[in-house]
Amino acid sequence: MSIQDTAERPGFRFSLYAPGTAGAADVEAQADRPLLFTPFRLRGVTFPNRVVIAPMQMYVAGPDGLATDWHLQHLGKYAVGGAGTVMTEALIVDPRGRNTYGDLGIWSDDHVAPLARIAGFIAAQGAVPAAQLHHAGPKSSRQRPWEGLGPLGAAEAAKGEPPWQPVSVSEQSSVAGWHRPHCLTSEEIAGIVAAYGQGARRAAEAGFRVLDIHAAHGYLIHSFLSPISNDRTDRYGGSLENRMRLAVEIARSVRGHWPDDRPLFFRLSCVDRMEGGWQIEDSVVLARALRAEGVDLIDCSSGGIRAENSGMDFVRKRQPLRRGHQVPYADQIRREAEMPTMAVGVILDGPQAEAILQAGKADLIAIGRAALFDPHWAVHAAHQLRADPKWQMWPPSYGWWLELRERTGVED
């Protein structure tokens, strides 16, 4: 397969493999590789392969949301494990938007130095350091998952973690029994939009090369998008255009503080999976509006606007999640909004990921829990797909020995 074949393959017109662009030489040398291990370029960033470690909150931040050695080893090991891009967990842009006291922050300049250490380590392994910006909105002020995920109360207050009032699109709680949120005024909304811009500035200063805005799973931005939760009558409620306003304003604010040569991703719950909720057609309209604001890729998730349609609820009810269940959203947005997408959700192995890319359904593949289970997911997938016969994707301190072991053979 030549570079030109790759560029012209139906559905791959966004893979900017035109000869002469940076990264083209890599592609030429690797033309027979599986797509999963073929570079991808957006703006000034060449992703060495299509594997992205999905954002995953650990809920173990140090005081005031500071990153610690835990986060360095947690994220660092995925870069050592061959992922092309390693994304941080959701970084909180405003302390009232924390899910829990364990969330990592980016609401102050003090957060930059420990995050820069992590971004630097990831980049030094040859991977692209990425960060996610977040405000939990109605889902703020709650217990860590393993503590029950309920609202903070007297027991947590006694341990030094008192509850606070969440802010949201309205006064509706997203889950019965959770704290009643404060309904944001337009002036307060403007403050949050500005906080996202400052978060982007700090992420750039910390050395991240990609930014993802978390607008999924029932959190603040999603609560404005969905007709299930948005009952406002001002310019942020009612029509689709009004419900999209906060998302568009945040994208504009972030783009204004995020360097032009660095890609901007946007994570959507592409559907609410509820009668009368946000639909895939709405996601296509929003994706086009975001593209006009300088968003480069839609990161395609789903659900979460109410407890009964969230991933956690599937887990609680032991309802199995289908392999690749969100891939059709990445496919439709890619075709209809004509922009790159990232597929995520129960993508378990190299052949499955490769089939999604070969079918032109997404440009990048995000791996979450499969990477918790196997931090070397990417190099193992490369092995499965025979993309790394000489063990060169491994750090030489490992790869040299493993290649030698393979050549020598092992007897029972």
Ligand X SMILES: Cc1cc2nc3c(=O)[nH]c(=O)nc-3n(C[C@H](O)[C@H](O)[C@H](O)COP(=O)(O)O)c2cc1C
For β-strands 264-269 and 167-168, DSSP reports them as unpaired
From the candidates 101, 219, 236, 329, give the one annotated as an active-site residue: 219
If DSSP codes are grouped into helix, strand and coil, which group holds residue 117?
A: helix
Q: Is 245 in the site for ligand X (CB under 6 A)?
A: no
- Active site (annotated) includes residue 219: yes
Binding status of residue 137 toward ligand X by CB under 6 A? no
Give the three-class secondary structure for 283.
Answer: helix
Query: Is residue 345 near ligand X by the rule CB under 6 A?
Result: yes
List strand residue ranges (DSSP E) for 279-331, in order.
Answer: 297-301
Choose one: 51-59, 123-131, 238-246, 373-381; the region binding ligand X (CB under 6 A).
Answer: 51-59
Contact criterion met (CB below 8 Å) for 333 and 326: no
**Cβ(71)–Cβ(28) under 8 Å?**
no
Considering only residues 187 through 216, tell me which ones interact with ligand X, judged by CB under 6 A: 214, 216
369 binds ligand X, rule: CB under 6 A: yes
CB of 17 to ligand X, least distance (A): 27
Cα separation of the two ends of the chain: 40
Give dist(CA 107, CA 200) in Å, integer: 10
Q: Indicate the residue among 116 and 221 with the shorter CB distance to ligand X.
A: 221
Asked whether position 33 contacts ligand X by CB under 6 A, the answer is no
Q: Which is nearer to ligand X, 340 or 345 (CB)?
A: 345
Tell which one of 57, 85, 140, 302 touches ligand X (CB under 6 A).
57
96 sits near ligand X (criterion: CB under 6 A): no
Distance of alpha carbon 225 from alpha carbon 314, whole angstroms: 23
Of the pair 31, 346, the CB lying nearest ligand X is at 346
CB of 329 to ligand X, least distance (A): 12
Burial of 282 (0-12, 13-18, 19+ CB in 10 A): buried
Sign of CA dihedral 387, 333, 175, 181: positive
Q: In angstroms, what is the minimal distance from the CB of 105 to ligand X?
A: 13
* Residues touching ligand X, count (CB under 6 A): 19
Residue 214 bridge partners (DSSP): 267
Site residues (CB under 6 A) for ligand X? 54-57, 89-90, 132, 214, 216, 267, 301, 344-347, 367-370
Annotated active-site positions, please? 219
